[in-house]
Amino acid sequence: MTRYELDTLAEELLLRVRRKPASFIPLTSLSRRLGATPDDVKEAVKTLVSWGYRIRIRRGHVVFMSAPDALIDTEIKYGLKTKVVGRQIHAYRSVKSTNDLATQLAENGAPEGTIVIAEQQTRGRGRFGRNWHSEPGNGIYLSLVLRPNLPPDKAPALSIMTAVALADTLAGYLPDRVWIKWPNDLLIGRKRLRKTAGILTELSAEQKKIHHVVIGVGINVNHGIDDFPEDIKPIATSLRRALRKKVSRVELLQKLLVNLEREYNSYLKHGLKKAHKRVRAYSSLIGHSIKLASGKNITEGKVVDIDLDGRLVLEIDGECRPVIAGEVTVVKE
Ligand code: BTN
């Protein structure tokens, strides 16, 4: 497990040089300002280059060209406009599962808003014990620790508030083409909808009180079709495939963190009331007949709503019945 961490000098150097991209900044004045020797500054430049920054030393000057689209904590923090979400960032090259690591951190007292992010997961987990394909470089694999002062039966609504934050973020790129498939899937498309992101919410609670929630989010951002394993090719897509151009993962992530903070604050104050209109508008299921599998039980009905507790409301034989969890398949009408 390699953690992405820049040393302090490299970080301070970066802050200074990126303010003036493509300018020649004298090495001597930089080292004086940073309280370091020119050789130290050269070492710091090497460190930055090894993290993917395009930064050069030319004739005694340092020139900053560009930052990498890498999920490094320095990049994620740079210009991030949140107060709580992302206040601690644990960024890794490769982990088994960011949810596992976030759970460990939460159990050891990590504060609300801590995020764990990785370029790659070797055992990324999806719902129903499935695997979440998490190859390096193209996706976002993120887990967020929350500590809401709420009873555990509110957890499904937290998944819905996350889905809304995620849908708002993706809709910023693809207006009118983003859908929430209750409860945890984000789909994109016009007629044929394909999955582009998923949410895995894991809870530690006693009967009346949540200790912490870990919300895991996996997003297919810059995947090409051949980056998906054969079995999910027909049902998966990425933002890049829909947009026909690459997306900056750092920018997307920052937008998501801002939206998550907004939706979480709104949820703590108003429950799902403020988000409800958007929950309905994004829903790919409302108005459709579905089959809901929950363990061995299969329920059939027509979806009429998602209620303020985040439950799917089904009309079955003329009666409305809310359901908490399950896997939905739309019945062809
Ligand atoms: C699903 O659609 O089944 C949920 C997928 C959730 C995947 C994310 S990736 C980051 C976090 N870590 C994991 O191991 N899983 C979640």
Written as one string, the DSSP assignment of 68-80 is: -S---HHHHHTT-
159 close to ligand 1 (CB < 6 Angstrom):
no
pLDDT at 256 over 80: yes
Determine the pLDDT at residue 165.
Answer: 98
The reply to whether ligand 1 has any atom less than 6 angstroms from the CB of 44 is no
183 lines ligand 1 (CB under 6 A): no
Ligand 1 site, residue 113, Cβ cutoff 6 A: no
pLDDT band at 332 (very low <50, low <70, confident <90, very high): confident
* Whole-number CA gyration radius for the chain: 22
Q: How far apart, in Å, do the first and last CA atoms of the chain sit?
A: 49
Instruction: Kindly state the percentage of the chain with pLDDT values over 70.
Output: 98
Query: pLDDT at residue 65 above 60?
Result: yes
Residue 42 in contact with ligand 1 by CB distance below 6 A: no
pLDDT (tens digit per residue) in 208-224 = 999 999 999 999 999 99
- Which of the four pLDDT bands, split at 50, 70 and 90, describes residue 2? low
CA 77 to ligand 1 center in whole angstroms: 23
Nearest CA to ligand 1 atom 11: 216
Ligand 1 pocket member 139 (CB < 6 A):
no
Q: Which atom of ligand 1 is nearest to the CA of 126?
A: 3
Q: Whole-angstrom Cα distance, residue 60 to residue 67?
A: 21
Looking at the CA of residue 99, tell me the nearest atom of ligand 1: 12
Neighbouring C-beta atoms of residue 112, cutoff 10 Å: 17
pLDDT at 4: 58
Q: How confident is the model at residue 7 (pLDDT cuts 50, 70, 90)?
A: confident
Residue 5 predicted with pLDDT over 90: no
Name which residue leads in pLDDT, 51 or 204. Answer: 204
Element (H, E) at 168: helix 155-171
Does any ligand 1 atom lie closer than 6 A to the CB of residue 200?
yes
Confidence (pLDDT) at 127: 92
Reported pTM: 0.93
121 ligand 1 Cβ < 6 A? yes
Buried b / exposed e over 199-216, threshold 16 CB at 10 Å, is bbbbbebeeeebebbbbb
pLDDT at res. 51: 87
pLDDT greater than 90 at residue 113: yes
Query: In 3-state terms, what secondary structure has residue 222?
Result: coil
What pLDDT band is residue 257 in, cutting at 50, 70 and 90? very high
Q: What is the pLDDT of residues 163-195, one digit of tens each?
A: 999 999 999 999 999 999 999 999 999 989 999
Question: Is pLDDT above 80 for 6?
Answer: no
Q: Is the pLDDT of residue 262 over 70?
A: yes
Cα of 127 from ligand 1 centre, angstroms: 7
CB 233 within 8 A of CB 194: no
Reported as a single tens digit per residue, the pLDDT across 67-104 is 999 998 889 999 999 999 999 999 999 999 999 999 99
